[in-house]
Structure 1
């Protein structure tokens, strides 16, 4: 009986196994690489836009990835964006309570930490706003390509390219069109994110208590009281935006009095939704290789010879990926060619057994490796061994000896090519590391 053995080295089993563990242990922070491609941004501007002096403001001329959600304030039926009425937000109270108009951007891209919401997202497209009936010839306000930035503490801002069209001011004087560049349209303090999940959140912008000093126009009122059940609100949108807005529309964005329509000026909450694709940290995406070195031997009449097909080089198991409650890495062994021309054709078999996988002082059981053998180029009467499931599913996997292929007594004289598809399935609890193990092949005859 002969018992020659060959050892296969299993290298670099890290990939998503390593990446997932590192991500779980690392402090929450914004992703450095783009991991969002489908973000949406939905915003109702402010309560004043829902019930201005002349009725809801006109939203129009949408471009790119911007669209309108028409609420019941304008006879529409959108249900995607809803806000609570005063005093929870600046949305006017009505009976029955009406839903707001809103702008919606889709197709946003960027990087987001799914744990904290921190990151940067940007959208392409524009919308135009006008608060007055056409006969006033008030200038259009055009907002383009918003960018949202969120810090780990939940503070941040929204900027947009802002411009105004030609028109008339409150006194009928002509206003030329003007591009004012990228301005900060919204700011929000730490802790402003609510309903935070791995797929989005709602943000309440700053307004109350924000001061703005103007070189011209109506000064800001900062003396509002909550006596008699009043809100007592006074405040402003970001100073940069208010001071650069044309005088014809500037007063819509800061307190020029107390109570009444003044309470509608605070910006409404906005909603952000997205799907994040987890990107392994740099350096953690490692190939998972099986290597074998076998001396080539000529086949001579009357011999039993087995060799590894050297044409395939390394076996690449790719990157382990999370599949529900486990990680999975797959690949194929380098095929083993068995040639038997011995007289009387004695039976033979080739089997394998894998050691535990180790990475320094960390290890996991070799039982999690399974395979499905196959026989090709078969002129020697060989049959494949039975499939062996990963021990995560049942049994002990390849930690117990398993047959790759065999031939019975009296088989045909010739050769066979033995192969197997490998499947490594480990629990999510496997620690981070670059693991290695030894797969030992043994031929018996």
Structure 2
């Protein structure tokens, strides 16, 4: 498995058949036994843990079995790889049937690896719909008159709507490949089945595209400077203010942005200590709804005492930037038939915040599906455990993002909060793990992880 990194400054055949048991094999493929009839439900409206549920099921054996439809009970559970996805994330869903509504009604033992399950999962709540799930051709031997073993099926869906999304087990089919190819469809008697899992989807974080510029970079005390802004919320209340180092001055102006989120204002600057000008929405500065500071110098032309000299020094604001130690990660190999975690380490990223001012920063990542000879391994299978360190003397402190799924919608790798004075140098890395399904076709699979710093 391999992972390319991009950055942006703004992932057995059955034995020979006996002569007589062809009809028995057909019967086994379609038979069902009654189980308990208790029903467990999970409340909707908030993210919940997976809950096993029982639901009435009607199984129809193949006609060759000579067995009438049987009304039984299935016990199943729905699990997900991401219980708090963002819009655009691909969620991997596992439908596990702990107790099928079908059992072996005859004395003939069945060999291993003849059962292939498929099924449906019903979505409700904020994103109604459904998805198809499939399972591997894998089962232990089934003794005569023995219960059919549990099985699991997986599938994916893309989150398109924010809110609570419920997941309920749906119809499933047991396909057997012993003596002949036969199907036993089992349907939910009173759909939908009880909710087994609820997840909560949220909007993805948007980049702050607000910008501010000045008509001139300096002026005398009391002069007005023309401030131009763009990318603000249309018709939002805007404050333009002077900044003296890390603190705002009394020089401020409040007005409303136009219908395109732009404005032009003329701010009178009186404070001789002013070093920059900011613009923001709301009652106070925040990095996600503000822009600046744009550098501004007040030229103090007050006459000096006789035989004196005025000495002036300035500190120039820099930029927010990042570099990375390489752009390719080779994840460890996994075995066909076993699957599991393909692990590796993110190439270290160095973030330099030399802007000065109050704004923090956020470094996020999102990954594509991994493609290879067997198709795709979905982006939701990649997870990370972030870590970051702060260089001594930096005004800000780096905070690692939470361990969890990366996905196509993105997740936070690291951040530094807003503050009175921010800035510094930081090193960011992460442990990576790609959950590879057990029977993924052998070969190389590659995805692209894109990092964005804002």
Higher RCO (CA < 8 A, seq sep 6+): 1
Give the helix-richer structure, 1 or 2: 1
Structure with larger Rg:
1
Q: TM-score, normalised by structure 1?
A: 0.32
Higher strand proportion (structure 1 or 2): 2
